[in-house]
Structure 1
Amino acid sequence: MNQPISITAISSISPLGFQSESIWRNYRSNRHFFSEINGDLVAQLSEEAKQDIAKLRNSNSKYKQLDDSVLYGIYAARKAVQQAGWQAEDNFGINVGSSRGATGLFETYFKDFLDKNKAKPLSSPTTTLGNISSWIAHDLQTKGPEISHSITCSTALHSMLNGVAWLQSGLSDKFLVGGSEAPLTPFTIAQMKALKIYCHSEQSEESYPCKALDFNKTKNTMILSEAAAMACLELGKKEHALAFIEGIGYGTEPLEHNASLSTNADCFQRSMTMALGKLKPDDIDIIVTHTPGTVKGDLAEYNAIKQIFCNKIPALTTNKLKVGHSLGASGLLSIEMAVLMLNHQTFIDIPYLEQSHPKKISKIMINAVGFGGNAVTILLSK
């Protein structure tokens, strides 16, 4: 990192809520936020949040044609930019990605095509991955660069990497980054179930159906979630910053399988080492892990952490036991969790993981990885 980057605002809409106070309260609670759709466990937005999204959809005739993933992104982006005090004339950049994009609209359009053998006129422009950033830029009326991408479940943290690169280059001094995902659709859930990584419905009676960071589990327990999360980045150390990006890292590895990591998650070892830079591993107080709740995925990341931190592993935590896996948005939700812990100086523990709590919270590492072994690590400080 040539220069520190300030996170001057962060906003999300997820099953945890859409206001910072209620999100923090839900993190501190002993409950999860899973429910069922057609017998499958999922993490849905609250009814209040859904009503806000419905109001947004009906506020503009153009928005009625948009997928939920776009509306979630617009909603979270508006709140983040307002919190940061940015104006349209600032011409800030936007990089918002998604793993799956417009899943709901795509499935609806394709079913209609199968029934009528004819595609709807807007079926293409409203289902492209670039659709999210484009509509966010339209809604916020900024003329800065707008970028979209899909790097599966590490998408949101890759957005942050990209924003940092633009700021460090001097081509921009403000960047909105994040991810949005609305994957609670029949085909998307069926895809995860086909991979045999999804939580079984009989586990719904357990205290925590998603057993992320439980290294003794014998079944895969991943659960899909819908969410969008955005962060406002500014170059340099700002007095009003919520946190500072002190290090960034990324890593890839040769594919053993379309959906797998190597046993010791070599990509994570590379990304964590890069993010550490000249810092000592002992300097890290907490790691917010990616750990989606799968047997092999969770253990591979833990093996990577042990390789880097040896016998002095930082306190480990994740939000997935409460809110599941929001795919391309999940990394930014983890960033938000880290920012909340930094500012409240309180560690969010995992009830079934025996470990020591940090005595201080000054540096937190956040991990994300996607299909194909695309790992990203962000190091935050306060």
Structure 2
Amino acid sequence: MSGAAPRRVVVTGLGAVTPAGIGTGPFWDLIIHGDSAIRKISCFDATEFRSKVAGECDFDPQAHGIDPAEAHRLDRAGQFAYVAARQAIADSGLDLDRFPKDRIGVSMGSALGRVSSFDHWTARRTTNRFAMALGGADGRGRPLSEAEPSVIAQVVAQQAGARGPVRVVSNGCTSGLDAVSHGVQLIEDGQADVVIAGGSEAPLTPVAVSSMDAIRATSAYDGDPAEACRPFDRNRDGMVVAEAAGVLVLEEAGSARNRGAVVLAEMLGCGHRANAHHMTGLEAEGSDLADAVQEALHTAKVAADDVDYVNAHGTATGHNDEHETAALKQALGSRAFTVPISSIKSMVGHALGAAGAIELIACAMAIRDNLIPPTANLYDPDPKCDLDYVPLIGREHRTDIALCTGSGFGGLQTAILMGAPGGGR
């Protein structure tokens, strides 16, 4: 409507499944203390792999209310999404039975979709393509339906009774951020009043991990697994792959206020760019990510000097960390040298399409508690990464505005600004 005030979007619920444990409590407790959940890969034999460590989740679907038949239908990514969404909905206090179903949307991100199901099927069934297509003699489902990424959003929609827009966003490692951004847009545009948004990823399979090994993106560190991921450190040698899910309940601010919801944070602005440069390479000057950050600042009407914390993409690959450092200098100017920045991937690994979602959860909790998680294993900072990357020990710091950044294969860049409820200051 012409002249109508823009629809504001707030966060009212959080849910997480991470290598730290089930729920946002174990996740926050681990990262704020600088501890690590990275360990030797146990879900398959990684003896011959370049990288032998990962961020694995200890997860029993039946312990979280998923019966054996449903667990078979849903691979780990779907199971994680189901549990994290249930947590987030409970945390929000939403009574979904009393909410118009066509005003509820779902936006979930995943880089690899249901790769664990696909990996399982191709490993066991490719000798008989006809049996594979029909699900085999045991009649246990078709691999196409098992591999479809859309199921990740569908299981959340079924749980919430959502009959509004339901989407899966697959933009590589920015998928979680982009899914949340899409959810924000749905509310701003008036297509929904509530969107359950986030990301889920279960990439710890031989096919997925070996693909990362092949491009030498992963760490070959063979010491203590907890020290394998070293963002911004001179001795970093690659990322550590992880599995996880993070889900946020997004609501139109007026609707949340009217039902008496506890608002955890406000979504202030999003920015998106691509570098049109290379599938995996990054331009050293970081102008693509800088533009995304500046777009987010412009959309949010926030000055660079007002950013209190940056949750960095910080993968611990040589190119990414230098690229991100350069981008933050461009985008934030002198503020880049004084604002606290950290990478939680140093403690939970890189959950690909779910990474941005759990990092937004970390931003919301940093705003809530005025605490900033550290960058673990940052003992010897790279001179090219010369910003305040909060090494080793978390920090008390008033945080009213947090910036979360992400980069994905194909040169995709995303930045999201999140603020304290009611504007903080």
SS at match of 1:360: coil
Match of 1:90 in 2: 100
Question: How much has 1:56 moved relative to structure 2?
Answer: 4.7
Q: Deviations over 1:17-52 (max 9, x none)?
A: 223332222113242111112241011113xxx12x
Distance in 1, Cα, partners of 2:93 & 2:396: 33
**8 Å contact 1:264–1:304 — kept in the other structure?**
yes
**8 Å contact 1:57–1:64 — kept in the other structure?**
no
The 5 Å alignment of 1:1-382 reads 2-37=6-41, 38-39=46-47, 40-46=52-58, 50-51=59-60, 53-56=61-64, 58-59=66-67, 61-86=69-94, 87-88=96-97, 89-91=99-101, 92-118=104-130, 119-121=132-134, 122-202=142-222, 204-205=223-224, 208-214=227-233, 216-217=234-235, 219-236=236-253, 238=256, 240-255=262-277, 257-277=278-298, 278-313=301-336, 314-350=339-375, 352=378, 355=388, 359-382=397-420
TM-score (norm 2): 0.83
SS at match of 2:335: coil
Question: How much has 1:288 moved relative to structure 2?
Answer: 0.4
**8 Å contact 1:130–1:148 — kept in the other structure?**
yes
Equivalent residue letter for 2:107: N
Distance in 2, Cα, partners of 1:133 & 1:207: 32
Equivalent residue letter for 2:412: N
Distance in 2, Cα, partners of 1:57 & 1:63: 10
User: Which stretch has the larger CA shift, 355-364 or 145-154?
Assistant: 355-364
TM-score (norm 1): 0.92
Q: Which runs of 5+ in 2 are unaligned?
A: 135-141, 382-386, 421-425
Equivalent residue letter for 2:400: S
Moved over 4 A (4+): 356-359
Q: Deviations over 1:169-209 (max 9, x none)?
A: 1121111111100000011000000011111042x327621
Distance in 1, Cα, partners of 2:400 & 2:320: 27
Q: Which runs of 5+ in 1 are unaligned?
A: none
Equivalent residue letter for 1:127: A
Q: Deviations over 1:208-244 (max 9, x none)?
A: 2101232x23x52201100011001011264511001
Question: How much has 1:63 moved relative to structure 2?
Answer: 3.7
SS at match of 1:115: coil
Q: Deviations over 1:97-136 (max 9, x none)?
A: 2100111110111123323333143111110111111122
Distance in 1, Cα, partners of 2:341 & 2:34: 17
Distance in 2, Cα, partners of 1:183 & 1:206: 18
Total equivalences in the alignment: 374
Question: How much has 1:69 moved relative to structure 2?
Answer: 0.6
SS at match of 1:172: coil
**8 Å contact 1:99–1:181 — kept in the other structure?**
yes
**8 Å contact 1:58–1:64 — kept in the other structure?**
no
Q: Deviations over 1:71-118 (max 9, x none)?
A: 111111111112212315432100112100111110111123323333
SS at match of 1:224: coil
Distance in 1, Cα, partners of 2:329 & 2:182: 28
